[in-house]
């Protein structure tokens, strides 16, 4: 269409030029007419030129817009559509070049026409130009009509091209949207795969670190004192068993109390028995001996380990910290105490203290420990020593807590909390609740002072913190749990220092209750006293049994004499009865009963014998009654008392034998303990 328009313009210009060349004025009137026609033709020519220039500018503008759209489309990466657009651009560029070429020709012809017009104005025109002008006017009119038709066709085609381009643009945009959606999905998939890859890499790294940790644990060497630690533990266990499994039941038996009953035990007896646990704990763990020992417990994520790390890092941010985690994980009880140098150690299940490098410890976190199956089968607890002024004369125990996911961890906490002088229970102020199961454990197992630490107070207003403190205080009070003090804490650098100072002042004010340095000596002296008391009781039993034997013998002799007398009286009575039966003469009578006839002397003798028999019978009866009441019953009582005394004697001898064995065993084990410690 652009080519047809250019041809149309060229025809008009060429025809107009020919007309000017051959015009020759005949007179002034004709010249005026020619001037008018010339001016009219010039105006029309200029008008046509301006119109064409506007159309060319419009085409250039549209072309530029298309180029811009194409560049935008190309920037979005649609290669297929960009090729088609490039072809359209090439076509438009070719048309532009043709138009520029035609425009150059038109400008050249205009110059030529200007020159010829000047000649015409000077009268240098032919006479035949007038007819030619008429023809040209008609031709111009035809051309104008043709131009209008061409313009209409051009506009129609242009609209179609626009619609086509818009459809193509819409299709491209749809394709771009689809491609963009596919690209977003691909990006999401790439991100997911990237996260999975990072997780896999992290898991592999954890496994690698876990293997390194396991390797060091399995190949760790015992400390200089750790090689004898297992033997020391065995001796401590033996001494504890002697006190709690042998001596304690023996005392309860002597006091005639039910087994496992602590009623009516004297204070010194409670000291010997209950103190055995404290003594055993401090003897096994020299790092808590003769120091104030405290334990931190709390629910998951309450921040107890972070508090310990705050104590460790005070004044030294490069200090190796305890492992913490953002999730509930397996934890190992960790003892931290002061020392001349930093030491990293652990106690194995066979109770051997072994060394661990600082590098390995600093790589350990709770996720690494989680990767190790049966970590408790490899170590019982960590033992750390730090050159830190905050730890002077102080031992800190970081525990898994009562509400750990692992019941074994909870039991570990229960086993060690009473080794300490005080328990610090850490609460997250954002949780604001008290776990009922933890309260139950506290009430059943804790025998030491309790302090409550409300952590992360910088995340709440003072009013909210006070409300949480009131709730915890009310809950514990209703459960009958006594709290020594409520302490607020924050690890924030802005406000944490004052809370840190308050916590450390409270810790340093905790009184020591586990000084067991003289415990074994006290127990041994007490057992020696018990042995002396048992020996005395045995001697008293022997004396009582001897006296009882004598009394029984006396009563038995009395009974024997009385029985002999009764026996003699019975014999005399028998003889008298036999003699009485010989008195009188028996005579048979025919008509009356037979009779026995006595002489007077026989009769008197018979009466005497009968009276004697009656007296002896009475004496025998009285003798039997007296034998029962005055001799046999006391004898029976004496025999029962004697048997009881002999039972007591046997019991005392048995107890004396047992306490003597306990004394010997205890003496032997204490000697071994003193040699090993």
Q: In what order do the strands lie in the sheet with 381-386?
A: 353-355, 343-347, 381-386, 334-338, 394-398, 292-298, 422-428, 450-455, 485-488
The answer to whether 222 touches 372, Cβ cutoff 8 Å, is no
User: pLDDT value at position 389?
Assistant: 84
* 432-454: pLDDT as tens digits: 778 777 788 777 777 788 999 99
pLDDT of 338 higher than 90: no
Instruction: Determine which of 67-76, 153-162, 456-465, 535-544 has the lowest per-residue pLDDT on average.
Output: 67-76
Q: CB–CB of 514/282 below 8 Å?
A: yes
β partners of residue 384: 336, 344
Q: Is the pLDDT of residue 333 over 60?
A: yes
Q: In the structure, what pLDDT confidence band is assigned to residue 527 with cuts at 50, 70 and 90? A: very high
pLDDT at 669 over 90: yes
What does pLDDT average to over the chain? 76
Calpha distance 178→351 (Å, rounded): 67
Question: What is the signed CA dihedral for 56, 59, 60, 66, rounded to 10 degrees?
Answer: -170
Does residue 183 or residue 47 have the better pLDDT? 183
Condensed to tens digits (0 to 9), the pLDDT of residues 199-216 reads 888 778 777 777 777 777
Task: Say what the pLDDT of residue 393 is.
Answer: 87
- Mean pLDDT on 546-573: 85
Q: What's the whole-number mean pLDDT along residues 532-548?
A: 91
Confidence of residue 532 (pLDDT cuts 50, 70, 90): very high
Q: Which helix (H) or strand (E) holds 383?
A: strand 381-386
Q: Label the pairing between strands 334-338 and 394-398.
A: antiparallel
The pLDDT assigned to 454 comes to: 92
> For the whole model, what pTM was predicted?
0.54
Task: Please give the Cα distance from 430 to 282 (Å, whole number).
Answer: 36
Q: What is the mean pLDDT of residues 318-337?
A: 67
**485/451 Cα distance (integer angstroms):** 5
Q: What does the alpha-carbon distance between residue 542 and residue 552 come to, in Å, rounded to a whole number? A: 15
Report the pLDDT value the prediction gives residue 328, as an integer from 0 to 100.
43
pLDDT above 50 for 195: yes
Contact status, residue 525 vs residue 622, Cβ threshold 8 Å: no
When comparing pLDDT for 462 and 327, which is higher? 462
Range from 167-181, 425-439, 529-543 that averages highest in pLDDT: 529-543
Give dist(CA 361, CA 327) in Å, integer: 20
- For residue 506, pLDDT over 90 is answered with yes
Mean pLDDT over 7-16 rounds to: 43
Determine the pLDDT at residue 375.
Answer: 65
Q: Does residue 357 carry a pLDDT above 60?
A: yes
Confidence band for 484, pLDDT divided at 50, 70 and 90: very high
Calculate the dihedral angle through the C-alpha atoms of 206, 211, 214, 215, rounding to the nearest 10 degrees: -150
Tell which wins on pLDDT, 72 or 152: 152
Q: Please say if the pLDDT value at position 273 is more than 50.
A: yes
Provide DSSP, 161-200.
Answer: HHHHHHHHHHHHHHHHHHHHHHHHHHHHHHHHHHHHHHHH
Residues of the chain with pLDDT > 90, as a percent, come to 12
| Beta-carbon contacts of residue 40 (< 8 Å; ≥ 6 apart) | none
Contact 106, 17 (CB under 8 A): no
Give the model's pLDDT for residue 659: 92
Confidence (pLDDT) at 487 = 94
pLDDT surpasses 70 at 292: yes
- Percent of the chain surpassing pLDDT 70: 71
Residue 286 pLDDT class (50, 70, 90 cuts): confident
Supply 158's token pair. 């242009």
Q: What is the rounded distance in angstroms from the CA atom of residue 20 to the CA atom of residue 13?
A: 11
Q: Are strands 585-587 and 595-597 parallel, antiparallel or unpaired?
A: antiparallel
- Within 13 Å and on the Cβ side, how many CA atoms surround 216? 18
Two structure tokens written together for 74: 């190309």
DSSP 222: B
Q: How confident is the model at residue 624 (pLDDT cuts 50, 70, 90)?
A: confident
Mean pLDDT throughout 595-603? 77
Q: What is the pLDDT of residue 2?
A: 43
The dihedral region occupied by 584, where left means phi > 0, alpha psi between -120 and 50, and beta the remainder, is: left
Round to whole Å and give the CA distance between 277 and 272: 10
pLDDT average, residue stretch 246-273: 72
User: Which pLDDT value is given to residue 658?
Assistant: 93
pLDDT tier at 327, thresholds 50, 70, 90 = very low
- Judged against a pLDDT cut of 50, whether residue 360 lies above it is answered with yes
| Long-range contacts from 437-442, C-beta under 8 angstroms, 24+ separation | 437/402, 437/403, 438/297, 438/299, 438/401, 438/402, 438/403, 439/475, 439/476, 439/479, 439/481, 441/402, 441/410, 441/414, 442/402, 442/481
Q: Which segment of 218-227, 248-257, 634-643 scores lowest on mean pLDDT?
A: 218-227
pLDDT (0 to 100) of residue 374: 62
Residue 120 clears pLDDT 60, i.e. is over it: no
């Amino acid at each position: 269409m652009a080519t047809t328009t250019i041809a149309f313009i060229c025809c008009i210009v060429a025809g107009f030029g020919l007309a000017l060349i051959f015009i020759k004025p005949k007179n002034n009137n004709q010249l005026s007419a020619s001037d008018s026609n010339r001016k009219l033709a010039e105006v029309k020519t200029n008008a046509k030129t301006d119109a064409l220039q506007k159309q060319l500018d419009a085409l250039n503008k549209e072309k530029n817009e298309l180029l811009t759209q194409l560049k935008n489309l190309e920037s979005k990466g649609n290669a297929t559509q960009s090729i088609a657009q490039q072809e359209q651009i090439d076509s438009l560029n070719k048309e532009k070049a043709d138009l520029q070429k035609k425009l150059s020709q038109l400008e050249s012809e205009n110059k030529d026409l200007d020159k010829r017009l000047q000649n015409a104005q000077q009268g240098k025109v032919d006479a035949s130009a007038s007819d030619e002008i008429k023809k040209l006017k008609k031709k111009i009119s035809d051309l104008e009509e043709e131009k209008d038709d061409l313009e209409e066709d051009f506009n129609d085609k242009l609209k179609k091209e626009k619609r086509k381009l818009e459809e193509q643009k819409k299709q491209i945009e749809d394709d771009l949207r689809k491609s963009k959606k596919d690209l977003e999905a691909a990006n999401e998939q790439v991100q997911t795969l990237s996260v999975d890859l990072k997780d896999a890499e992290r898991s592999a790294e954890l496994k690698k670190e876990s293997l390194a940790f396991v390797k060091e644990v399995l190949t760790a060497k015992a400390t200089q004192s750790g090689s004898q630690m297992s033997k020391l533990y065995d001796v401590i266990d033996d001494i504890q068993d002697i006190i709690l499994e042998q001596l304690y039941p023996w005392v309860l038996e002597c006091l005639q109390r039910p087994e496992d009953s602590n009623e009516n035990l004297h204070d010194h007896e409670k000291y010997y028995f209950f103190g055995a646990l404290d003594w055993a704990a401090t003897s096994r763990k020299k790092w808590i001996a003769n120091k104030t020992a405290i334990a931190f417990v709390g629910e998951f994520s309450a921040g107890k380990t972070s508090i310990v790390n705050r104590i460790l890092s005070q004044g030294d941010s490069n200090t190796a910290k305890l492992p913490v985690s953002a999730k509930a994980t397996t934890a190992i009880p960790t003892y931290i105490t002061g020392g001349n140098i930093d030491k990293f150690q652990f106690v194995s299940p066979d109770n051997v203290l072994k060394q661990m490098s600082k590098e390995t410890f600093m790589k350990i976190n709770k996720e690494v420990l989680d990767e190790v199956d049966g970590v408790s089968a490899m170590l019982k607890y960590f033992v750390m020593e730090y050159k830190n002024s905050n730890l002077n004369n102080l031992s800190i125990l970081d525990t898994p807590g009562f509400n750990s996911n692992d019941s074994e961890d909870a039991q570990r906490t229960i086993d060690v909390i009473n080794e300490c002088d005080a328990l610090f229970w850490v609460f997250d102020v954002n949780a604001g609740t008290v776990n009922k199961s933890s309260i139950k454990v506290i009430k059943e197992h804790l025998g030491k002072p309790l302090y409550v630490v409300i952590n992360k107070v910088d995340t709440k207003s003072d009013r909210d913190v006070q409300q949480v403190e009131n709730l915890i205080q009310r809950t514990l009070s209703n459960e009958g749990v006594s709290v020594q003090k409520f302490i607020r804490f924050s690890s924030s650098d802005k406000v944490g220092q004052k809370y840190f100072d308050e916590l450390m002042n409270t810790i340093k004010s905790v009184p020591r209750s586990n000084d067991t340095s003289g415990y074994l000596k006290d127990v041994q002296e007490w057992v020696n006293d018990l042995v002396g008391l048992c020996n005395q009781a045995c001697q008293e039993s022997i004396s009582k049994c001897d006296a009882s034997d004598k009394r029984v013998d006396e009563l038995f002799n009395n009974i024997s004499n009385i029985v002999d007398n009764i026996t003699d009286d019975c014999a005399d009575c028998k003889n008298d009865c036999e003699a009485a039966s010989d008195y009188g003469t028996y005579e048979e009578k025919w008509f009356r009963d037979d009779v026995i006839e006595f002489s007077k002397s026989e009769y008197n003798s018979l009466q005497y014998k009968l009276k004697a028999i009656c007296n002896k019978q009475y004496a025998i009866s009285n003798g039997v009654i007296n034998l029962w009441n005055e001799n046999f019953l006391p004898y029976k009582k004496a025999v029962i008392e004697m048997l009881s005394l002999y039972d007591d004697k046997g019991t005392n001898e048995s107890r004396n034998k047992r306490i003597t064995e306990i004394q010997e065993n205890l003496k032997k084990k204490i000697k071994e303990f003193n040699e090993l410690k």
